[in-house]
Amino acid sequence: MNGPSIPTTPTTPPADAVLPERSPLAPAPGTLIGSHYDECFGCGPHHPQGLQLTAVAGEHLDVTARFTVKPAHQGGPGLAHGGVLVSALDETLGTLNWLLGAPAVTGRLETDFVRPVPVDSVLHIHARVTGVHGRKVYSAAEGRIGGPDGPVAIRAQALFIQVKLEHFTTHGRPEDVRKILDDPDQIKRARAFEVNP
């Protein structure tokens, strides 16, 4: 008997995927990419339980990010929860979309946990676009501990799907959408996407 269908689209780009130029609006290489939303669990600087992840634009279609594992992120005693590490990679991979100049959401995210990550570790994440095919953005990331060149603790491959800004305004809880629409700074950032869809 057949169960519900499970998406099987691979996260590796097809042969005819392209690697586009960085968007003219992309943050310059070496620039800190600001949070897309103050209350984001991944990058919101004022989110008390959040990851408060900071990302820096790379030279190409890539970013680096740092995430410090805090006691609130434990799974096993003294060890990062795997789901929290996945969130850190998801957030970093999502940041790549600022380099492409179009908003996108995670459709599929595949993760390999390679080694345990103790509390107080800094996870050094490098993420890059591996191909774009229509609205589908393929990407990959790895997180290292003990320094940017330390051993890989986690790696992921993802498929993001580009969406219109209406994705957020239609599906988000209305009071939160209203709050962001009333905030000129956040709107400025959202418009940066709109002019280069």
Ligand X SMILES: CCCCCCCCCCCCCCCC(=O)SCCNC(=O)CCNC(=O)[C@H](O)C(C)(C)COP(=O)(O)OP(=O)(O)OC[C@H]1O[C@@H](n2cnc3c(N)ncnc32)[C@H](O)[C@@H]1OP(=O)(O)O
1 versus 6: smaller Cβ distance to ligand X? 6
Residue of 120, 40, 125, 124 lying closest to 80 (CA atoms): 120
Stretch that binds ligand X, among 50-58, 112-120, 138-146, 164-172 (CB under 6 A): 164-172
Could you say whether residue 168 binds ligand X (CB under 6 A)?
yes
How far are the Cα atoms of 5, 40, 58, 140, 169 from residue 128, in angstroms, in the given order? 29, 21, 9, 6, 28
For residues 85 and 108, give the distance between their C-alpha atoms in angstroms, rounded to a whole number: 16
- Asked if residues 38 and 44 have their Cβ atoms less than 8 Å apart, the reply is yes
Could you say whether residue 169 binds ligand X (CB under 6 A)?
yes
**Three-state DSSP class for 97?**
helix
Query: Mask 125-154, x = binds ligand X (CB under 6 A)?
Result: ---------xxx------------------
Give the rounded distance of the alpha carbon of 152 from its chain centre.
Answer: 18
Stretch that binds ligand X, among 21-29, 45-53, 77-85, 104-112 (CB under 6 A): 104-112
Stretch that binds ligand X, among 15-23, 64-72, 75-83, 155-163 (CB under 6 A): 155-163
Residues lying near ligand X in the complex (CB under 6 A) are found at 7, 9, 36, 42, 90-91, 94, 103, 105-108, 134-136, 159, 161, 163, 165, 168-169, 180-181, 190
